[in-house]
Amino acid sequence: MTTAAAGAEPVTWPSADALPYAASVLAVTARPGQEAESLGGLVYAYRRVGATVRLLCLTRGEAAGTSASGRLEAIRPWELQLAAAVLGIGEVAVANYQDGKLHQYPLAEIAGRIRQAIRRHSPDLVLVIAPEAGDGDAGDAAVARAAAASCSRGGVPLLARTRPGFPGGWLIDLGADAATARAIQRSAAAAHTSQSEALPGLIRRLDLLGGQEAVRWLLFPRPVPALPAGEPWPLPDAAAAAV
């Protein structure tokens, strides 16, 4: 879609069936494990084109059952670091909000923590899980609302993984690398050994998704200068050098 005001340079929005361009992505999750099971395919897609991906996880995941190996609030952040390494996430920060109770914190408090990460990393795009795509925990909706407030103030577009067929969403095709993307995603999920009982169910869900991921805008990007017909979105320097 291309628009232009009188005497102005034409501008365009990213194609509605493509991965939105970003050289730097900040992913924000409610708890450890979501970076792999929910966002792993999209993280792979951005890493494949050379984007830098960083992660802010707002809790330590202590509400996810019990573990014979020790306290979950100590174990799960370490599992998160391992999963992030598998996915190629460059930097991980874990906040100390109480798991399962994110929705009880003031919106401004969570938004302020996300805004700190935005100021630190200056991402082109923030990536979250849409409330309808989460596991039913109110924390996912709290993260989405807080991220929307932070991104609106900072002028950063907010993209969310949604469920296929949700109004306003579109499908991103992982293409010929889909099998590799899902294998990496499964390996990252398997790093969360304290949650190993959930792994078979995750694998079944990934098999149903195949090579596609559904996304929607929670906060639209600003228009960008129009590209000549047929010209692809510019790649970050690292990706362009590899082509």
CATH number reported for the structural domain that contains residue 141 in this entry = 3.40.50.10320
Q: How many domains does the chain have?
A: 1
What does the alpha-carbon distance between residue 197 and residue 164 come to, in Å, rounded to a whole number?
Answer: 26
Residue 8 lies in a domain: no
Q: Tokens 């989460």 sit at which residue? A: 134
Residue 59 lies in a domain: yes
Residue 90 lies in a domain: yes
- The model's pLDDT over 143-190, given as tens digits with 9 standing for 90+, comes to 999 999 999 999 999 999 999 999 999 999 998 999 999 999 999 999
Which of 54-58, 78-82, 225-229 is predicted with the least confidence, judged by mean pLDDT? 225-229
C-alpha distances (whole Å) from 168 to each of 2, 13, 141, 220, 233 are 19, 15, 17, 12, 22
| 134: number of Cβ within 10 Å | 23
Q: Is residue 10's pLDDT more than 70?
A: no
**Do the Cβ atoms of 109 and 95 come closer than 8 Å?**
no
pLDDT band of 4, cuts 50, 70, 90: very low
By three-state DSSP, how is residue 192 classified?
A: coil
CB proximity list for 85: less than 8 A, separation 6 or greater: none
CA atoms within 13 A on the CB side of 158: 22
| 190: number of Cβ within 10 Å | 18
Q: Is residue 5's pLDDT more than 50?
A: no
Residue 6 lies in a domain: no
pLDDT band of 12, cuts 50, 70, 90: very low
Average pLDDT, the chain: 85
Q: What range defines the domain where residue 231 resides?
A: 21-242
CB proximity list for 238: less than 8 A, separation 6 or greater: 50
What does the alpha-carbon distance between residue 28 and residue 158 come to, in Å, rounded to a whole number?
Answer: 10
By three-state DSSP, how is residue 12 classified?
A: strand
Tokens of 134: 């989460």
What does the alpha-carbon distance between residue 130 and residue 143 come to, in Å, rounded to a whole number?
Answer: 9
Which of 3-17, 39-53, 54-68, 193-207 is predicted with the least confidence, judged by mean pLDDT? 3-17
Q: Is residue 39's pLDDT more than 70?
A: yes
Q: What is the pLDDT of residue 17?
A: 63
Q: What is the pLDDT of residue 52?
A: 98
pTM metric for this prediction:
0.84
Find, among 238, 222, 215, the residue nearest to 52 by Cα: 238
- One DSSP character per residue, 87-140 reads HT--EEEEEEEPTT-GGGS-HHHHHHHHHHHHHHH--SEEEEE-GGGS-S-HHH
Residue 121 lies in a domain: yes
Residue 15 lies in a domain: no
Give the mean model confidence (pLDDT) for residues 78-100: 96
Residue 5 lies in a domain: no
Residue 12 lies in a domain: no
Angle subtended at Cα 83 by Cα 164 and Cα 60, rounded to the nearest 5 degrees: 90
